[in-house]
Amino acid sequence: TVADLKGVKEGKLCLTVVTTGKYFIPRLLGSFCQIYPHVDVSLQVTNHHQIHQRMLENKDDLYILSKPPEDIDLERRAFLDNPLVVVAPKNHILSNQKNIPLSKLQNFPFILREVGSNTRKVIHKIFDDHNLEIQVRLELGSNEAIKQAIIGGLGLSVLSKHTLTSSCYEELCILDVETFPIHESWYVTHLSGKKLSVVAQTFLDYLLVESENYTADRQYDLAHSHH
């Protein structure tokens, strides 16, 4: 068939990506599906805990996340930086300060993600490691809702830089806090025993090549290149 001649792949691709992956993976899937229009994609976006559950049930071909679980035998490849940053409303009183001591964050209320989120765990860990108290003002189950709550003046939060698209910088800013950004990576993983389908292997290879042209700083650079 014509499809075979062009090397076109057919079949289903099941992916689950961590919440912050939704700012990157759908676009990449778009260009992938233009090359391989006969691939039928199922994309789930969820937090680390839910991805762990899906792995235990062997639900997907590939999983994209920043903290691959230790208790599951996985093949993993780090492919992109996932820096975590302290986010504040644009005109926050700390917004022009450099190298803000971590302890200053105790004076401000925080907005946390839901239980099961790795971002939430990282915030708790950094406060605990430095014997600091965190003032939790509220918990929200989505990065987008947290951004809106920050804009609304409800508090500060720690988010992946990937969640900050260029338009966010009109209303939000990143605080220059010591020990931040926290450097995490995204990993693409699959269960070790699992033989990948041709489609899944093709997408994995595509992801590794394409992500080389992308960084979490891209949106920030776009937002700041205009002035």
| 38 burial level (CB within 10 Å; 0-12, 13-18, 19+) | exposed
Kindly give the residue spans of alpha helices, DSSP state H, lying in 9-47. Answer: 25-35
Per-residue contact track with ligand PGA, 59 to 78, x per CB under 6 A? -------x------------
In this chain, which of 68, 79, 82, 220 binds ligand PGA, going by CB under 6 A?
Answer: 82
Q: Which stretch binds ligand PGA (CB under 6 A): 26-34, 114-122, 124-132, 175-183?
A: 114-122
* Interface with ligand PGA, residue 189, by CB under 6 A: no
CB-based contact 208:188 (threshold 8 Å): yes
In this chain, which of 9, 16, 17, 19 binds ligand PGA, going by CB under 6 A?
Answer: 19
Please tell me whether the peptide bond between 181 and the residue prior to it is cis, using omega within 30 degrees of 0: yes
Q: Which stretch binds ligand PGA (CB under 6 A): 54-62, 89-97, 102-110, 116-124?
A: 116-124
- Partnered with residue 65 across adjacent β-strands are 187
* Interface with ligand PGA, residue 18, by CB under 6 A: yes
* Interface with ligand PGA, residue 16, by CB under 6 A: no
Residues contacting ligand PGA: total by CB under 6 A: 12
* Interface with ligand PGA, residue 85, by CB under 6 A: no
DSSP 112: E
Helix (H) or strand (E) holding 205: helix 198-210
In this chain, which of 16, 17, 23, 48 binds ligand PGA, going by CB under 6 A?
Answer: 48
- Compute the distance between CA of residue 43 and CA of residue 46 in angstroms, rounded to an integer: 10
- Compute the distance between CA of residue 100 and CA of residue 194 in angstroms, rounded to an integer: 46
In sequence order, the 6+-apart residues with CB closer than 8 A to the CB of 34 are none
Alpha carbon 172 to chain centroid distance?
18
* Interface with ligand PGA, residue 188, by CB under 6 A: no
Closer to ligand PGA by Cβ: residue 92 or 113: 113
Task: Give the footprint of ligand PGA on this chain (CB under 6 A).
Answer: 18-20, 47-48, 66, 82, 113, 117-119, 160
